[in-house]
Structure 1
Amino acid sequence: MATNTTIEWADKTWSPIIGCDRVSPGCDSCYAISTARIRESNPNPKIAKAFAGTTTRTADGIDWSGKVNLLPERLDEPMKWRKPRRVFVNSMSDLFHEAVPDDYIADVFARMWWSPQHTFQVLTKRHGRMRSLLPRIETRLRDMERDLALVHAPTPLHWPLPNVWLGVSVENQRWADVRIPALMRTPAAVRFVSCEPLLEPVSLRRWLRPVPDCGHVTPEDGTCGHPAALTPECHRWADCPARPQRDDWRGLDWVIAGGESGPRARPMHPDWARQLRDDCAVAGVPFFFKQWGEYLCARVEDDPGFASGRAYDSPLGGRSSATLRERGSSFRPGADRLMRPGDRTRRTVLLDTDTIAVRVGKSAAGRVLDGRTHDAFPRDDFHDSVTSGLYEDLDAFSRRMDETHPTRRSS
């Protein structure tokens, strides 16, 4: 099953795999767990079967069970969509989960190759397996290319696949330092990092815009050790006034940042997002701010209504909360009403001496950072050149696939 999505940086999700387990603190409030739990009981038997057994109840609540369901009947879905889309791959799992067989991952990559009209966004926390498996996937696809049944594919095999973006999730500096070097050593047309949920400050400076022949780049992971990196004095300002050609591009192509949502969300300090935004601006790397999460932040001196652990003084009010207390009244904690300005609540957090965060809900918090939205995407000129003039060949390709895969139905 594929669905349209509210994820701001994608048009559609495609989940030929369902099920996962936690690997780091960024997984603590994973939205997919509660979604999977609900869909296990869906009245549609096909949906219930797809999610069956993927979650379990623990002493701390609902969690992944560790079971991963492979759904081969969903593999051909992207080939049926004629309109080009940005497709988030496996929003309900991780493509490189250890329970997913190598051959099945190769089958997913084959469908992405055979659907060149789309851009596929693959995001993982299993950086090691991604790095080690990609060479074997290339070998498998080249074997497929030699199959006479595929000689009329609408595009020849280019490696790395020009319509596949590979990214890693990093929630703190520890995992950035572990996952990003593996990403930099992984062949990809576009490499990106999703700093969501952002749980502490993360610096990406040494991976943003290295130049291979500058004398300061480490060959192992492509990072730049120039002493003045990302300052106006850095040699890259003078030597590279524009983005390098793709053959020379070894830095990150895109950065996403966002706060955490969900019942147990943790607040994100605005300075953490600003640092990423500003570093990307200096390096010329597109920056996408996805959301604040559950909490809205302000400086105490700019908004005294935030002070002293009180609810946000806003026309929107705040979210109803079981932590509200009203002494000397008949108000029952957990009653369904919005916080009023001045209500004390444990959901108001002092992030530092100058910054207060209050839980107002994901929708009310929005995604405006310092007065504007940040919706930049990476340039994808190579993909555009490959796919230009493609669509007149799709009908022939679709008929060919129907002949070789009788159960497939085009749309």
Structure 2
Amino acid sequence: MAQNSTIEWTDSTFNPWVGCTKIDRPRNAPSACDFCYAEGWSKRSGHVKWGNHPRRRTTESYWRAPSKWNAGAGEFQRRNGRRQRVFCASLADVFDNQVDPTWRSDLWRLIRECAELDWQLLTKRPQNIRKMLPDDWGQGYANVWLGTTAEDAEAYQQRGKHLLAVPAAVHFVSYEPAMGPLGPLPIAGKVPSWVILGGESGVALDKTRPTRPQWVRDAIAECLRVGVAPFLKQWGRYANNPLVVEDGMSEGDARAADPLSNGKGGGLLDGRFYREFPKTLGVSVAAA
């Protein structure tokens, strides 16, 4: 919960509340929630219990941080040549059924007021998005990116149809951890603007589920085929890196050849990095 996030695809994180419940998948399919990093954080910190327990709203002083970032948006733009991105929420789910609706209303108000920030809302509950949007959503706030997690093709087809049915300035998919092929991106003629790809990290090595290089290679090829921006965040661990899996390098040699500093397991695929972002209008809500 900081202004300077270590997450490679955002700048800052903001959690209006903390707590969540894992999402079950049919037929005991493996879930991205199985080794949730936020749940691990909650256990270490002791601030909130995970699962069917009350969510904890963060403090009023903490809620003032985005307004400060918004006030400094001009300087951020001059320094970086783009708008500041805010991931909301890394330790919760904005579209969680168990959250007090007034908290969500307060969040939408804050997002409207902080129109010079690009808010990245990532959910595992895209079926709830439409009923939890503010009344003035229209075709979407110009500064809100809506995303969902999809660990394989079944999850993408199930969740993506709900995500893409809601109008938004940017739709994105977090294919992380990649636990199976992603498959075709078009759903009812629509595609997301952006796909984040990555292997599982933050888990004991004996529990980490593998990500196959060919799954990622095929997903990036599909992105390029349909005009979607791919962002390969990391391989999660060097045991997933194609330099090891396909080229036979030792993990130590792969680390030397692909020493991605802000990611785990390296980030090269076939000799290049794929770290693209979607093209956005970059205008304020008021202007929109």
Offset of residue 126 of structure 1:
0.9
- Cα-to-partner distance string for 1:338-364 (whole Å, 9 max, x where unaligned): xxxxxxxxxxxxxxxxxxxxxxxx956
Name the residue aligned to 1:297. 241
Offset of residue 66 of structure 1:
3.5
Opposite residue 163 of structure 1, the aligned amino acid is N
Offset of residue 173 of structure 1:
1.8
Offset of residue 185 of structure 1:
1.4
Query: What RMSD over aligned residues (CA atoms) do the two structures have, in Å?
Result: 2.6
Opposite residue 49 of structure 2, the aligned amino acid is T
Gaps of 5+ in 1: 41-50, 56-63, 142-157, 208-222, 225-249, 306-311, 319-361, 389-411
Name the residue aligned to 2:212. 269
In structure 2, relative to structure 1, the CA distance for the partners of 1:371 and 1:100 (3 Å cut) is same
Which residue of 158, 166, 179 corresponds with 2:146? 166
In structure 2, relative to structure 1, the CA distance for the partners of 1:103 and 1:184 (3 Å cut) is same
Instruction: For 2:197 and 2:22, locate their aligned partners in 1 and report how far apart those are by CA, in whole Å.
Output: 20
Taking the TM superposition and a 5 Å limit, the aligned residue runs for 1:395-406 are none
Under a length normalisation based on structure 2, what TM-score does the superposition of the two structures give?
0.81
Instruction: For 2:63 and 2:245, locate their aligned partners in 1 and report how far apart those are by CA, in whole Å.
Output: 54
In structure 2, relative to structure 1, the CA distance for the partners of 1:173 and 1:39 (3 Å cut) is same
Name the residue aligned to 2:19. 19
Instruction: For 2:102 and 2:192, locate their aligned partners in 1 and report how far apart those are by CA, in whole Å.
Output: 28
Offset of residue 18 of structure 1:
0.5
Higher relative CO (Cα under 8 Å, sequence separation at least 6) belongs to 2
Opposite residue 279 of structure 1, the aligned amino acid is E
Taking the TM superposition and a 5 Å limit, the aligned residue runs for 1:196-215 are 196-207=176-187
State the number of aligned residues: 260
Runs ≥4 residues deviating over 6 A: 385-388
Counterpart contact for 1:286–1:376, Cα < 8 Å:
yes
Instruction: For 2:41 and 2:255, locate their aligned partners in 1 and report how far apart those are by CA, in whole Å.
Output: 28
Name the residue aligned to 2:77. none
Counterpart contact for 1:76–1:111, Cα < 8 Å:
no
In structure 2, relative to structure 1, the CA distance for the partners of 1:274 and 1:302 (3 Å cut) is closer
Instruction: For 2:159 and 2:85, locate their aligned partners in 1 and report how far apart those are by CA, in whole Å.
Output: 24
Instruction: For 1:191 and 1:304, locate their aligned partners in 2 and report how far apart those are by CA, in whole Å.
Output: 37
- Cα-to-partner distance string for 1:216-275 (whole Å, 9 max, x where unaligned): xxxxxxx13xxxxxxxxxxxxxxxxxxxxxxxxx53111111110111211100111111
- Cα-to-partner distance string for 1:275-333 (whole Å, 9 max, x where unaligned): 1111111111111111101233347896456xxxxxx3634789xxxxxxxxxxxxxxx
Q: Does 1:258 align with 2:198?
A: yes
Q: Does 1:278 align with 2:221?
A: yes
Taking the TM superposition and a 5 Å limit, the aligned residue runs for 1:231-246 are none
Identity %: 33
Instruction: For 2:224 and 2:171, locate their aligned partners in 1 and report how far apart those are by CA, in whole Å.
Output: 17
Larger radius of gyration: 1
Counterpart contact for 2:244–2:251, Cα < 8 Å:
no
Counterpart contact for 2:85–2:120, Cα < 8 Å:
yes
SS in 2 for 1:123: strand
In structure 2, relative to structure 1, the CA distance for the partners of 1:66 and 1:292 (3 Å cut) is farther
